[in-house]
Structure 1
Amino acid sequence: MFMNKKISIIIASFLALVLLLVGCSDKNNEVTEKESEQAEPVETEVKEIPEDRTLTDAMGHEVTIPANPERIIASYLEDNLVALGITPVAQWSVKDGTSIQQYLQDYLKDVPIIPHDLPFEVVTSFTPDLLLVQSAQVVEGSKYEQYTKIAPTYVVEVENNSDWRAKLLTVGEVLGKADEAKQVLADYDKKASEAKQIIQDAIGTESAAAIWLVNNNFYIVGEHVSSGAVLYGDLGLTTPSVVKEISSTATGNWSAISLESLAELDADHLFLVNSDKGNGAEMLKDPLWKNIPAVKNGNIYEYGAETSWLYAGAIANTQIIDGVVESITK
């Protein structure tokens, strides 16, 4: 009987040990499952590696655009690059570099110049990885084929139509910055709208014109181009009848106008771009000039040729807006 009792105790102890081990195993499995859940890998966003893209330019060429081009030449399109935060490897110039886009020099002061006609050997010396050319005229004849031997060459427009917005969007698309280009336009439109209200509060519906004096000859800007598009389209200034008349037959951004016609200009405000400043500017001494109503009333605002009034683009037009607001409200 004693042996049976002893055996029962041994069996009971064994069963208790088994139950204990099973319980520990369940707890270990539970911990392991929790740890396993916590150790689930976290999905991370995999950034797409940019690749070369093939785009069709304004002339119908299929152009392979390199991913992340770093050495870009975009002669006379620098305003667009600057607006998109890109610095070209060379910048446009004429007259052996004595004339450049001065209004961009806060951004391009350390960028070397390149002649406006883009000589092949000079272009080659910059080892560009992408060429953006403004219009078909730049690559007429066999020039396009010659440039493509240097770097991929994209023609932005068939003709230089002065539509700076379209140029900016095109350049943005080519450089993979389409969203940035749209944001630049949105920011510009907001600034123009605010400036328009300031100007209307100051002078109401008064009219204005922009004229350019160079080599003792006057030119007047068209209604829908260059700084005229800013004055009348973006800022809502009233267009004088003389400007409307000249714009109807104009073939360029600036049209020649005689001093006699200027004397009849029905503009309340005149913005004068004076390229003859320092050279005598004889026309400004003529009695006809002094009798122009805007001049007599002191509503003339003079700018140097280094300013952005002769150009167009997000940067140029923003500077023009700042100048107009400052001049009219001072």
Structure 2
Amino acid sequence: MFTNKKMTVMIASFLALVLLLVGCSDKNNEATEKEVEQSEPAVEETATERTVTDAMGHEVIIPANPQRIIASYLEDNLVALGITPVAQWSVKEGASIQTYLQEYLKDVPTIPHDLPFEVVTSFTPDLLLMEAAQAVEGSKYEQYAKIAPTYVVKVENNSDWRDKLLTVGEVLGKTDEAKQVLADYDKKASEAKQIIQDTVGTESAAAIWLVSNNFYIVSENVSSGAVLYGDLGLTTPNVVKEISSTATANWSAISLERLAELDADHIFLINSDIGNGAEMLKDPLWSNIPAVKNGRIYEYGAETSWLYAGAIANSQIIEDVVESMTK
């Protein structure tokens, strides 16, 4: 017979063995659970179709993760959001493109700016983004909608580039990315504004475009004018203010005689006539414009971003202005 002492020892040993076995089992279970967790792929949220309403009131079904997007003349917005379109805007059978974007679009085929139906169809797009209502006037919208879901971004052509970017971001499910692009741009503009003010203060400037022996001047609140006066805080010349008050386009025709009255300390000249002799620049009236006489004229080609608007275009304009005015 077992004594009480021996019985106690045996019971204690048995309990210790049970606890040891339970502990090992728990550890094995934990290890197994971890292995299972590691072997199972992470569950990701999958994109789904969404129905949205465009600027013209069309209800548009946006496909999940569209891969073949055509967004003629909205490519700046796509690139800023990290998206490559399946075709890019062009005129004259691809002779003229948005050269300033070719760092990102060099391998993307061109498509005529007026988007012929048969050419659009050939790209088998899964989403069409139209810049403005003019692109789908008449019965065009119905024709495009038969090819792919078609979303009109804005009603008017000369709408604010920031609004366009936010709209495109919303349509493509990239609202946060669009907001970050704007935040980064505003930071860059603010820093550039301070550099310019530290160098030349708030002197005045104007952007002038010479093409086919005709001059055009940018309006105050659009295109490069919005960059010069709104983002960088340069003073708007009186001539620019007067023309902007009745302007209906980004760039307004201006005579050489009117340019002679331009009260701008600095002129940014976008010269599309470089290869044509630029005869207007040889006229004495041009030579007598104060900014020209004082050597404060900065010339850029038509291939630069000065004729466009968008986060990328405007960022490049800012870089040009800082380089020109602070050297």
Aligned to 1:21: 14
- Give the whole-Å Cα distance in 2 for the aligned partners of 1:306 and 1:34: 68
**Selected match of 1:95 from 92, 106, 112:** 92
Work out which of the two has the higher radius of gyration on C-alpha atoms and give 1 or 2. Answer: 1
SS of corresponding position for 1:278: helix
Shift of 1:236: 0.4
SS of corresponding position for 1:154: strand
Residue 83, structure 1, aligned to residue 80, structure 2: yes
SS of corresponding position for 1:172: helix
Shift of 1:46: 2.9
Taking only aligned residues, the RMSD between alpha carbons, in angstroms, comes to: 2.0
Residue 322, structure 1, aligned to residue 309, structure 2: no
Aligned to 1:60: 57
Residue 32, structure 1, aligned to residue 25, structure 2: yes
Residue 163, structure 1, aligned to residue 157, structure 2: no
Matches within 5 A, 1:105-144: 105-144=102-141
**Selected match of 1:69 from 44, 66, 71:** 66
Q: Is the 8 A contact 1:73 1:132 kept in 2?
A: yes
Shift of 1:123: 0.3
Distance 1:23 1:317, change over 3 A: closer
- Give the whole-Å Cα distance in 2 for the aligned partners of 1:300 and 1:20: 97
State TM-score, norm by structure 2: 0.93
Distance 1:26 1:96, change over 3 A: closer
Distance 1:14 1:66, change over 3 A: same
Q: Deviations over 1:124-145 (max 9, x none)?
A: 0000111101111111111111
SS of corresponding position for 1:198: helix
SS of corresponding position for 1:127: coil
- Give the whole-Å Cα distance in 2 for the aligned partners of 1:28 and 1:158: 74
Shift of 1:205: 1.9
Residue 188, structure 1, aligned to residue 185, structure 2: yes
State TM-score, norm by structure 1: 0.92
Residue 285, structure 1, aligned to residue 282, structure 2: yes
SS of corresponding position for 2:64: coil
Shift of 1:107: 1.0
Distance 1:204 1:19, change over 3 A: closer
Residue 261, structure 1, aligned to residue 258, structure 2: yes
SS of corresponding position for 1:210: strand
Matches within 5 A, 1:292-311: 292-311=289-308
Aligned to 1:312: 309
Aligned to 1:179: 176
Distance 1:15 1:244, change over 3 A: closer
Q: Which runs of 5+ in 2 are unaligned?
A: none
Distance 1:34 1:197, change over 3 A: same
Shift of 1:103: 1.0
SS of corresponding position for 1:64: strand
> More displaced, 114-123 or 46-55?
46-55
Q: Is the 8 A contact 1:162 1:312 kept in 2?
A: no
Shift of 1:222: 0.4
**Selected match of 1:233 from 212, 230, 233:** 230
Letter aligned with residue 274 of structure 2: K
Letter aligned with residue 78 of structure 2: L
Residue 146, structure 1, aligned to residue 143, structure 2: yes
Q: Is the 8 A contact 2:158 2:250 kept in 1?
A: no
Q: Is the 8 A contact 1:162 1:226 kept in 2?
A: no
Matches within 5 A, 1:203-222: 203-222=200-219
SS of corresponding position for 2:147: coil
Q: How many residues align?
A: 323
Shift of 1:26: 3.7
Q: Which runs of 5+ in 1 are unaligned?
A: 1-7
Distance 1:12 1:278, change over 3 A: closer
Shift of 1:29: 3.0
Aligned to 1:199: 196
Shift of 1:201: 1.1
Q: Is the 8 A contact 2:50 2:64 kept in 1?
A: yes
